[in-house]
Structure 1
């Protein structure tokens, strides 16, 4: 048994080494004064200063964050309504059909989705730019958020809503004080998943972005095509470190919340039934 665990741990180490080695290689040469990724000649922070002084890049960074936040919020709100609608459907065949349509959007190649949006926006007359990118990111963020929220709805006991109604809660109170608090972890998971996909997306954004408007993924791709520049390494390193900090912070908050005593389920039910 110990040998199996040892081999399993060794396998995990090798997998993570393969995954993180290119990232560490990229980060290492972002400090290279030689200007290439073939030989490390000396330590420098010039490429990080170049990134910090690039006003166009800062504008693109702001564009990316604005698109990611707005699209994630909108996609999560729509996904909550969609998950509630799917959950309330009694016909198993109809529910499976809707879930299949939802999952098709996730597994479909990004190139096909991007090309479809490009054709749609061209026919409708939507100008390619902020609006087209935002609508596209909302569209592919919705099915991801639905998959995060729906399992929490399925796990929720129907007696919670019944008890709240028996205590005199209105439909609005049942939704805001019983259902939403119960599915809150799924809502946050759906939001952060949609946010991650939006920040990371390239293929769909490449199709629907217009002249003069860009996001980080498209900008990095454009710069990489012009030749190897260590400013790309510096930018990628900063993005990776920020992402790592967010993941570590989320992990710490989750651990602290798990150590706290759980809140009784009856509390939101009782609160929802209190007449105002």
Structure 2
């Protein structure tokens, strides 16, 4: 048992090293005063200064944040409504079919999704740019929100709804004062996950981005093709730190919400 524990820990350490070593290597050379990633000549913040002095890049950052926040908010609203609908479906076959259709966008390759959206927008006459990127980000974020909210709905005791109805609550009161507060951790989790997916997405966005409009992922790819620039390292490091903060925020909100939900469930338990 002890040997197995050691082997499993060594395996996890190896996995984390493989995953995070390239990111740490990139971040390390973002402070390099030299112009390459072959030798560290000295510490400097000039590459971070270049990022904040680049007006075009700052506009792209603003575009990315607007797309991410707006698509995540709309996807959360649609995803919560979808999760509530799926949860209320009584027929097992119908529910499984809906869940399967919901999961298609998650398991499908990004290239296929991006090409499909490109064809759809071309046929529909939608100009590639802000609208096409926003619609595509909403589309692939909705299934994520549904998967985050559904487990919370399944955890909710039916006695909560029954007790509210016995006290004379309307359906709207039950939804806004009982159901939504209980599944709030799932809603926040879905929003944060949709936000991180939107910020990090490249493949789908690359297909639906038009001339004159870009997001950070597409811009970093374009700059990387032009040659090695340590300002790309600085920009990538900032994006990684921002994404890390979002993930930590998601876990903090999720744990706090789970604790409140557990307390609420214990309070109504006979």
Same fold (TM > 0.5): yes
Aligned alpha-carbon RMSD (Å) = 2.1
Q: Structure 1 267/212 Cα, relative in aligned 2: closer, same or farther at 3 Å?
A: farther
Q: State the Cα distance separating 1:245 from its structure 2 match.
A: 3.4
Aligned twin of 1:179: 179
Aligned twin of 1:166: 166
Mapping for residues 1-276 of structure 1, pairs under 5 Å? 1-251=1-251, 263-265=263-265
Q: State the Cα distance separating 1:241 from its structure 2 match.
A: 2.1
Aligned twin of 1:273: none
Using the size of structure 1 for normalisation, the TM-score is 0.91
SS in 2 for 1:264: helix
Q: Structure 1 249/185 Cα, relative in aligned 2: closer, same or farther at 3 Å?
A: closer
Equivalent residue pairs, number: 268
Q: Structure 1 198/211 Cα, relative in aligned 2: closer, same or farther at 3 Å?
A: same
Q: Structure 1 209/63 Cα, relative in aligned 2: closer, same or farther at 3 Å?
A: same
Q: State the Cα distance separating 1:254 from its structure 2 match.
A: 5.8
Q: Structure 1 201/225 Cα, relative in aligned 2: closer, same or farther at 3 Å?
A: same
Q: Which runs of 5+ in 2 are unaligned?
A: none
Q: Which runs of 5+ in 1 are unaligned?
A: 269-276
Q: State the Cα distance separating 1:119 from its structure 2 match.
A: 1.0
SS in 1 for 2:52: helix
SS in 1 for 2:264: coil
Q: State the Cα distance separating 1:234 from its structure 2 match.
A: 0.7
Distance 2:257 2:166 in 1: 31
